Amino acid sequence: MAYKAGNKAAEASARKAVGAAKRALGERGPVWWDDGVPDLNRRIVRNTPYAQWFDNPTRDETS
């Protein structure tokens, strides 16, 4: 709305708030993929440390 109304101060305030929200959510700021943890993406689960958990039929699907 601020953009359409041509209100530069309100637009700047809104952009600042969006930037702060994105940083709080982890979308901006330090990268998470450079933490030294091995990347297990695109691996067959039986070849990862999660194999035993995956093979457990009573596992909780939310954990």
Task: Report the share of the chain in percent with pLDDT over 70.
Answer: 94
Examine residue 31 and state whether it is found in any structural domain, yes or no: yes
Confidence of residue 58 (pLDDT cuts 50, 70, 90): confident
Which domain range does residue 32 map to? 2-55
∠ Cα 48 52 53 (to 5°): 95
Q: pLDDT over 90 for what percent of the chain?
A: 43
Tell me whether residue 37 is in a domain: yes
Query: What pLDDT score does 11 carry?
Result: 94
User: Which one-letter DSSP state was computed for residue 6?
Assistant: T
Whether residue 26 is predicted with pLDDT greater than 60 in this model: the reply is: yes
- For residue 59, name the pLDDT band (cuts at 50, 70, 90): low
CB atoms within 10 A of CB 54: 11
Domain count within the chain: 1
Q: Average per-residue pLDDT in the chain? A: 87
